[in-house]
Amino acid sequence: MRRLRFPSVLIPVALITALTCLTYGIAFSATCTAAERPNVLFLICDDLNCDIGCYGHEQVKTPHIDALAGRGVRFANAHCQYPLCGPSRASFMTGWYPDQTLIHRNAIHLRERAPKVNTLSQHFRDAGYFASRIGKIYHYNVPLHIGTGGHDDPYSWNQTFNPRGRDVIDQDQVLTLRAGQYGGTLSWLAADGTDAEQTDGIAAAETVKQLKRFSQSGENFFLAVGLYRPHTPYVAPKKYFDLYPLDRIKVPSVPTGYLDTIPPPAAKSLTRKKEQVNLDPELAKRAIQAYYASISFADAQLGVILDALRQTGLDDNTIVLFTSDHGYHMGEHGHYQKTTLFENATHVPLVIAGPGVSAGSVAATMAEMVDFYPTLSQLAGLPIPQSVSGVSLVPALKDPSASVRDSAFTQYDRGYSLRTPGFRYTSWGTEGSEGVELYDVSKDPEEMHNLADDPAYAAQRQQLAARLRERIEAAGAIPAGSRRVRVQFDRQLQSGRQ
C-alpha cells in the first residue's frame, strides 16, 4: 500500500481517499477513487500583465497560453487584490484580502501575520493530495532569493523545489538603470545559451519529472509552479528578443500636465522610481522589447509543462489554473512596473481549464484572485472554509455568461479601488480625503481622463463611493476562526528589492 509521509505519522493513501469521499461526497459517487478526483496544476508567472495573444495583444507571441485558453475559460476581467508580489500572493493563497492577512508589503512570512491560516494548497494537502511547489509561489526577493525558499510557507507543501539557473550566474552581465539593483528597477539581458539553462527552464524540466511520477503513482496532486519571468531582470535567450524588432516597439505617450489631473498619491505611485520617469524613447523601447521577450520565453516553458500534462494522459483529469500575481505597466501613464491603482497594474490574466469547464469560452464577469481558493475547492469537491473571503467562479466556468461578481476590489498604500464593468473608482485616504479618481472605462479604457469632478458623473461617483465603502468594510473583517498578529517588522529588503 502506498503511503504519504507526514511529520511523525504514516497515513495510507487509500484511507485518506476513503475519508475524503465520505466527507466531500457531494461531488463524488460512493465508488470514488483517487483516480476519479481531479488533480490541480497551478501555473503562475511573475509580474505578467495582459499583453498576451489571447487577451488581444497584436504583437506579443504566447501560443501556449493562447492554446490553453482555447480549451478552457479565459476571464476578461480578473483583478489582483494588491499590485505587489508579497501581499498579492499571500492574499490568493489564503483567500483573504490584504487587510485580513495584514500583509501590505514584501519580505513578510505569512505565519508572522496569520499563524493559524489554512492555505489553499494546505487545504488540498489535508484532503489527501500531494502538494508540491516548484519555483516562486509566495514572495521571493528577485533575483536575490532565486534558488532558495525565499519567504515560502513550509506548512503549505509536502515537497518543494527551488530552481537556480544561469540567469542568476550571469547577473553581472545584466543592464540595469540603477547600479547593483535588479529586482526593483528596469534591467534586462539577452542571454546566451538555451532555455534549459535558465531558472524557469529548469523549473519546467522538474515539473515534467513530477508529472511523469504522478502519472505512474496515481497520487492526486496539487502542483504549483511559479515561473520568475517576466519579473525584472528581464532575462531570456537572445532568440526571444529577436521576435520583437526595436523599430516595431511602440512607447505609450502621456500628455503634458497629466499628473496635475490626478490626486497627489496617484501621481506619487507613478513617479516613485525616479530613474524610470521620463525614459528616453530608445531606452524605453529596449525595456519593452526585453519584457516582451521574457513573456514569450515564459510561454515556451509553459508549453513544455502543458505538453507533458497531455503526454502523460493527466490532462483529462487535471484542473489547470494559469495566472499572474498582478498586472504591470510598460510606459502607460508614464510608469514602468507595478504598484498603481490603474488597470495596467490590477488586471491579471486568468485561464482555467479541465474537466467540467466550458472549452474555448470567455467569461466577462468581474473576478478576483481571492476567488481561486473557493473555485478550486469546489471543482475538486472539497468544502469551502467559512474563513475564505472569495467566491467560487464555477458558475462562470460552466456558463461563461454568468455574472459571479459585480465589481473587483484592489488596494495599494492608502488607496482603494473598485472596478466595475463600466467604471473604475479610486479613493485615496479616509473617505477620499487625499483625492478621488473616476474613469468611464467604456469610453476611456486607458483611464487617462479623471471624471471625479465632472457634474455629469455625480450620480455614478456617489453610487460607486457607497459600494467601495461596503467593499472596504468587508475586506477588513476578521476571517472566521482566524488569529492574526499585527507586529511592526524592521526587516529591509536587500539588493534584490522589489
Q: What is the pLDDT along the chain (498 residues), one digit of tens a residue?
A: 333 333 333 334 344 444 444 433 333 333 345 558 999 999 999 999 999 999 999 999 999 999 999 999 999 999 999 999 999 999 999 999 999 999 999 999 999 999 999 999 999 999 999 999 999 999 999 999 999 999 999 999 999 999 999 999 999 999 999 999 998 999 999 999 999 999 999 999 999 999 999 999 999 999 999 999 999 999 999 999 999 999 999 999 999 999 999 999 999 999 999 999 999 999 999 999 999 999 999 999 999 999 999 999 999 999 999 999 999 999 999 999 999 999 999 999 999 999 989 999 999 999 999 999 999 999 999 999 999 999 999 999 999 999 999 999 999 999 999 999 999 999 999 999 999 999 999 999 999 999 999 999 999 999 999 999 999 999 999 998 787 776 554 444 443 444
In this structure, the answer to whether residues 243 and 319 fall within a common structural domain is yes
Q: Write the CATH number for 310.
A: 3.40.720.10
Half-sphere exposure of 460 (CA within 13 A, CB side): 23
Angle between the N-to-C axes of helices 372-379 and 85-94, in degrees from 0 to 180, rounded to the nearest 10: 30
Distances (CA, A) of 237 to 44, 51, 170: 20, 20, 12
Query: Is the residue at 13 inside a domain?
Result: yes
Query: Is the residue at 73 inside a domain?
Result: yes
In this structure, the answer to whether residues 139 and 11 fall within a common structural domain is no
Whether residue 165 contacts residue 200, with contact meaning beta carbons closer than 8 Å, is answered with yes
In this structure, the answer to whether residues 92 and 15 fall within a common structural domain is no
In this structure, the answer to whether residues 27 and 160 fall within a common structural domain is no
- Which positions are annotated as active-site residues? 85, 139
In this structure, the answer to whether residues 122 and 158 fall within a common structural domain is yes
Q: Residue 315 phi/psi, 5° resolution? A: -65, -25
In this structure, the answer to whether residues 157 and 71 fall within a common structural domain is yes
In this structure, the answer to whether residues 140 and 50 fall within a common structural domain is yes
In this structure, the answer to whether residues 21 and 157 fall within a common structural domain is no
pTM above 0.85, yes or no: yes
In this structure, the answer to whether residues 135 and 106 fall within a common structural domain is yes
Q: Is 156 helix (H, G, I), strand (E, B) or coil?
A: helix
In this structure, the answer to whether residues 111 and 134 fall within a common structural domain is yes
Instruction: Determine the Cα–Cα distance for residues 281 and 241; give it in Å rounded to an integer.
Output: 18
Query: Is the residue at 443 inside a domain?
Result: no
In this structure, the answer to whether residues 13 and 97 fall within a common structural domain is no
Q: String of b and e for 367-376 (b: at least 16 CB within 10 Å)? A: bbbbbbbbbb
Domain count, the chain: 2
What pLDDT, in 10s, does the model give residues 448-477?
999 999 999 999 999 999 999 999 999 999
Whether residue 164 contacts residue 150, with contact meaning beta carbons closer than 8 Å, is answered with no
- Choose one of 402, 437, 466: the last residue of a domain: 402
* Residues spanned by the domain of 287: 40-252+259-402
Instruction: Determine the Cα–Cα distance for residues 91 and 428; give it in Å rounded to an integer.
Output: 21
In this structure, the answer to whether residues 212 and 297 fall within a common structural domain is yes
